[in-house]
Chains A and B, each alone.
Chain A
């Protein structure tokens, strides 16, 4: 043991030991700080979105006494009645001191233009209201909403505020009477786009996203799985299949705007599918997600051990039976995970939709795959570019909704993997 050569080696090892420990510690610190940095960016992003966005789930309402004047409802059709006039006369009764034309305009401005449509709906449900006076909560204008949410500073000089001194006095009077209240903003979840922030909602975009993804899923999943099964299980291994494989991998990396251009040229200009519809949007996103699904499905097929295939073939199953009865069911959880991740990718896409006219102002909620529609990320893009300040919090709120959907889809993918995955 006391051989000098041995001692020398152990000395050298001991000498280098602390350096090696140091190197390892350093490496760990780098790794941990990288994760910490990534997490802090994520926290920053979420907190900035949530801190502005949560306000959009509430909306300021003003209570007004509406007299449903029978003289206004002499005609057959209710919707031809002068509902804005009803609101104006009700406000004039509440503020008899406001007489000049300019002041009246300022007064009427406090109430959202959407209030008259709300009255119409109220009356359509219950025509017996005609001739009575009712207290009704109507949405306030977006500037009033911003004032009550603290986004307009009332200590600023009048010329720099979008709410003038008179309007502040009236609002204070209304507040003192308990006629101003913040309530849950249900129209944000039930209506389509609007240029009035207090009336704008994400339901139209959500429906559009749903139809678009429906088309994408129903086309890309069967096609992707069939392509993967053929390439993995049936196709001969030769130069042609190598080229195909390389190209599928390339297609997965092509920028999505290119698919938009292709969609414009092929689906709209050549096949004449109408612009701005979920049908054409779904087709374009199908092209985009197809390579992702094929790659994920092939990986999942590859992970099925050869022994399964050999056993099936060994007891006399045909190749078709082997694939359909044994390999495919085992590979399916992995394929579904890949598909869901591809779908989540498609849900967050805007660039290809720009070319095919889905970046558009669409008020009517779509009722099918051939109605003009927009999708959630496009709605976020459009709102972020609107001048009205109230759209800023709606942008963040829409981002929150989109993130919730993405989170759900990714959670579903994790769940499927955990639940059905078989470890060999």
Chain B
């Protein structure tokens, strides 16, 4: 008994020692953090990279875009991640945090687009909406239906009340919680754009920025919008059980579940591969990853990983990322971006 304990302690001690000696030598796996939207694409590229080269497969954590930048900008060194995935561009505040913590040179890599869809079960009819309808159906405060420039708490119960052309079913939308990048993008691309169709809200942007933000970005909390968590598979199941409900998620889930759900047509464009790629479908956003330039050369394989991710067989029109549901950029855009990426040109400070 005693002997065993001593053996155990000795084993533990040696392992701890071997760890600290390993630590001095640095890390040999690329560490990636960030957006859960980019995660499915980043992991595929990482796996291809790990199998196709002599480098180890990068380790990828799905922390959300904001959480990723927090870790990424915490400093330079083996403890901090090398790459951060993002489903939106880096904000000025995040960039400044990076600068203060010594993360000076950041390389921005735009990888493609993702469409956000408003989908319902295949059992019910597809819906044709505009972004204005989406705003009126989901915002916390909307312009008074009686007219005028007054904002009132959202009175709409059914889609028909929002727009007579829509069906008379209850407004019930399942979507991601506020921590999600998909939610941020949906609010910005669908609701904010829909709100701007009211001229007085459009003017508000210059006069009263806070009020503008509150009006365009607050989602109603009276049960019409249900925060369904980050698990999109669960939302798909709930939509099947409840044919009048709608769900908000990324295009890749629609792509994989085309036999169960259908995307609503937004402003006469249905959410399919070609429409998003051509930039016609209005609710789509670019996806990025950011590379810490100071780590290139220190951690083996970063440059090669970036090359893998931006190779034609990955981000091209027929690449494996497109197979997974990412919408590729046009050939011209890829060629232009590739020049800067090859040189690992650091980005300038973002405007906002």
Binding site for B on A (CB under 8 A): 105, 109, 113, 117, 152-153, 156, 159-162, 194-196, 215, 218-219, 222, 268, 272-276, 279, 357, 359-364, 368-370, 372, 382, 384-389, 392
Judging by beta carbons under 8 Å apart, are A160 and B259 in contact? yes
Q: Are B61 and A276 in contact (CB under 8 A)?
A: yes
Chain A residues within an 8 Å CB radius of B252 = 387
> CB distance B259 to A156 under 8 Å?
yes
Asked if B23 and A272 make an inter-chain contact with CB atoms under 8 angstroms apart, the answer reads yes
CA A362 to CA B59, docked complex, whole Å: 5
Chain A residue at minimal CB-CB distance from B323:
A109
The chain B residue sitting closest to A381, CB to CB, is: B231
Residues of A near B256 (CB, < 8 A) are: 162, 387-389
CB of B41 to closest CB in A, whole Å: 9
Known: A156-B259, A162-B256. A369 touches B19 (CB 8 A): yes
Give the interface centre of B62, B259, B324 by most chain A CB atoms within 10 Å. Answer: B259
Does B199 interact with chain A (Cβ within 8 Å)? Answer: no
Contact residues of B between 44 and 85, Cβ < 8 Å to A: 44, 46-47, 50-51, 56-57, 59-62, 78-79
A-B pairs with lowest CB-CB distance, top 6: A363-B57, A361-B60, A360-B61, A387-B256, A160-B259, A361-B43
A219 to B22: give the CA distance in the assembly, Å: 22
Beta-carbon contact of A195 and B19 below 8 Å:
no
> Which chain A residue lies CB-closest to B258?
A160
Smallest beta-carbon distance A326→chain B, Å: 14
B147-175 interface with A by 8 A CB criterion:
none
The closest CB in chain B to the CB of A268 belongs to B79
Q: From known contacts A276-B59, A370-B22, infer whether A161 and B27 are also in contact, taking CB-CB under 8 Å.
A: no
Q: A275-B31, A276-B59 are in contact. Are A387 and B39 (CB under 8 A)?
A: no
CA gap between A222 and B12 in the complex, in Å = 13
**How many Å lie between the Cα of A364 and that of B40 in the bound state?**
17
17 A-B pairs within 8 Å (CB atoms) are namely A152-B259, A195-B40, A195-B44, A274-B23, A276-B31, A279-B15, A361-B39, A363-B47, A370-B22, A382-B62, A384-B233, A385-B233, A386-B40, A387-B253, A387-B324, A388-B256, A389-B257
Question: With A153-B259, A276-B59, A387-B252 as given contacts, are A194 and B29 in contact (CB-CB < 8 Å)?
Answer: no
B8 at the interface (CB under 8 A from A): yes
B231 in contact with A359 (CB, 8 Å): no
Residues of chain B within 8 A (CB-CB) of A152 are 259
Give the residue among A194, A195, A276, A364 with the most B Cβ atoms within 10 A: A195
Complex Cα distance A279/B12, Å?
10
Question: By the criterion CB–CB under 8 Å, are A387 and B40 in contact?
Answer: yes
Q: Name the residue on B nearest A152 (C-beta).
A: B259
List, in ascending order, chain A residues with CB within 8 A of B29's CB: 364, 372
Cross-interface CB contact of A161 among B19, B36, B259, B324, cutoff 8 Å: B259
Interface membership of B336, Cβ < 8 A: no
Instruction: Give A382 to B79 CA distance when docked, in angstroms.
Output: 24
Do residues A387 and B232 form an inter-chain contact, with CB atoms below 8 A?
A: yes
Candidates A117, A273, A276, A359; contact of B62 at CB < 8 Å: A359
Distance from B141 Cβ to chain A, minimum over Cβ atoms (Å): 33
A217 to chain B, nearest CB (A): 9
Distance (whole angstroms) from the CB of B39 to the closest CB of chain A: 7
Q: Which residues of B contact A (CB under 8 A)?
A: 5, 8, 11-12, 15-16, 18-19, 22-23, 27, 29, 31, 36, 39-40, 42-44, 46-47, 50-51, 56-57, 59-62, 78-79, 122, 230-233, 252-253, 255-259, 318, 320, 323-325
- 8 more A-B residue pairs beyond the given contacts A113-B320, A369-B19, A387-B257, with a C-beta to C-beta distance below 8 A: A117-B51, A162-B256, A195-B47, A268-B79, A272-B23, A274-B27, A360-B61, A387-B233
A361 to B34, CA, bound (A): 12
- The reply to whether B12 and A385 form a contact with Cβ atoms under 8 Å apart is no
Contact indicator B231/A385 (Cβ below 8 Å): yes
Which residue of the partner chain B has the closest CB to A277?
B19
A361 and B258 form a contact (CB under 8 A):
no
Q: Once the chains bind, are B15 and A369 in contact (CB under 8 Å)?
A: yes
**Nearest CB of chain A from residue B311's CB, rounded to whole Å:** 14
A160 touching B122, Cβ below 8 Å: yes
Q: Which residue of A lies closest to B272 (CB)?
A: A159
Chain B min CB distance to A180 (Å)? 22
User: Taking CB as reference atom, which chain A residue is nearest B39?
Assistant: A361
Question: Are A370 and B43 in contact (CB-based, < 8 A)?
Answer: no
Contact of A385 among B5, B19, B232, B259 (CB under 8 A): B232
Contact B258 A162 (CB under 8 A): yes
Q: How far is the CA of A195 from the CA of B233 in the complex (A)?
A: 16
Q: Are A370 and B5 in contact (CB under 8 A)?
A: no
A285 CA / B79 CA spacing, docked (Å)? 21
A98–B336 Cα distance when bound, in Å, is 35
Check if B59 sits within 8 Å of A361, measured CB to CB.
yes
- In angstroms, Cα B258 to Cα A161, docked, is 7
A360 to B34, CA, bound (A): 11
Among A161, A195, A372, contact of B43 (Cβ-Cβ < 8 Å): A195
CB B161 to nearest CB in A, in angstroms, measures 32
Give A363 to B58 CA distance when docked, in angstroms. 8
Q: How far is the CB of B202 from chain A (nearest CB, A)?
A: 36
* Most chain B Cβ neighbours within 10 Å, of A273, A364, A384, A387: A387
Asked whether B61 lies within 8 Å of A272 as measured between CB atoms, the reply is no
Contact assessment for A195 and B59 in the assembled complex, using a CB-CB cutoff below 8 Å: no
With A and B bound together, what is the CA distance between A210 and B6 in angstroms? 21
Question: A222 near B5 (CB under 8 angstroms)?
Answer: yes
Beta-carbon contact of B258 and A194 below 8 Å: no
